Every structure is written in C-alpha cells, then in structure tokens.
Copies of this chain bind each other. A is one copy, B any other.
Amino acid sequence: MSTTAPSDDIGTRLRLVRQIYGLTQRELARRAGVTNGAISLIEQNRVSPSISSLKKILDGIPLSLADFFTHNFAASDQVFFAAAELTEIAFGETVSMRMVGGNLKERALQMLQETYQPGADTGEEMLRHQGEECGIIVSGSLTVTVGAQEKTLQPGDAYYFRSDIPHRFRNPGPASCQLISASSPPSF
C-alpha cells in the first residue's frame, strides 16, 4: 500500500514533464483549455493548483494524475545510448550481453544485445521466470528450446514466449551468434 512518494514540488514536476513532452506553456495551455499565466504561476510554485486545473492541464499532455504523481520523471531523462554506453554483462566465457539503459530506475522493459560463442549453452536445467520475452537473430544461428518445442533460428528469425515456460538457448554452429532480445519485466 506504500508507493515511494514523489517530491511534492508540483511546480518543478509539471515544468519537467512539460519540457520532456516538448511543449511550451502557451501550447499546453491551449490544449488544456487554461491560460498560459496559470501554468507559469503553478510552475513557479506561486500557487497550488486545484485538482480540476491540474487534471485539465495533464489531460493536455496527456498524462493521468496517477502517472503524474507516481513516476519519477527526473530519473528517466536519457533517451539515446551510444554503443559504448551499453552495460556489459558476462556469463562465463561463452555468453555475453550488453544492456540498454542499465542506469535507469523503474524500467518496465529490458533490451539486450546478446552474443553466444560457438558451443555456448544456457544449460539443461531450463530457465524459468516471470514475464514475456522476445528476440531476433542478427547473425549466426541459435537453437532455442521452449517447452516441448525446439528450433534452430537463422538471422532474421525470431522468437516470442511467456518466460514461465522452461527455455534454453544453445549455439550449435561454428560461428558466434548475435541477437537482440527484449523482456518485460526486467530480470536484472
């Protein structure tokens, strides 16, 4: 019953959200049906808006009151990640991953660039966890086992399954295999 409380500095919060969405005070005011002056005063914390006003304004973005108070907008400002910025994760000698946005908080999604060396295998005791996952082979080939099904995927091929179905990845070929995967929620 206890969500981490965001700062009650509504003004800064609103200004941040507005700028993230690339709106000017006047443009947002027009969409929301309020005056630009009101938004200015609120953003300076010179007034404490009524719920009805705040709701009108957020509707112009659009964003729900719940999302406005729940999410930590300050923490999620990085949008683009250079290849060198991806977080490296290694599993033994044969499997390595590069994660997008490893520094972000409260992610709902995880995207990885994975590399399987020849012979790499996640092991016979199948992987199982909550959520769903999906991937596309970029180069090389990969044998994917999901429940009773098994297939060797070539570049361009893809998979999608509920992660609670036992699954396993192996690289049978002589070349290393690269793929891009996404899963939700993140498992690390």
Contacts and interface: CB of A to CB of B under 8 A. Distances in A.
A130 to B, nearest CB: 5
Size bin of chain A's contact surface? 35 or more
Contact of A3 (B49, B53, B67, B187): B67
B128 A66 contact: no
Interface string A116-130: 000000000111111
Contacts of A68: 69
A66 B75 CA distance: 17
Contacts of A70: 3, 66, 69-70
Identical copies of this chain, number: 2
A15 to B, nearest CB: 15
Contacts of A47: 50
A64 B129 contact: no
A2 interface: yes
B65 A2 contact: no
Nearest to A70: B66
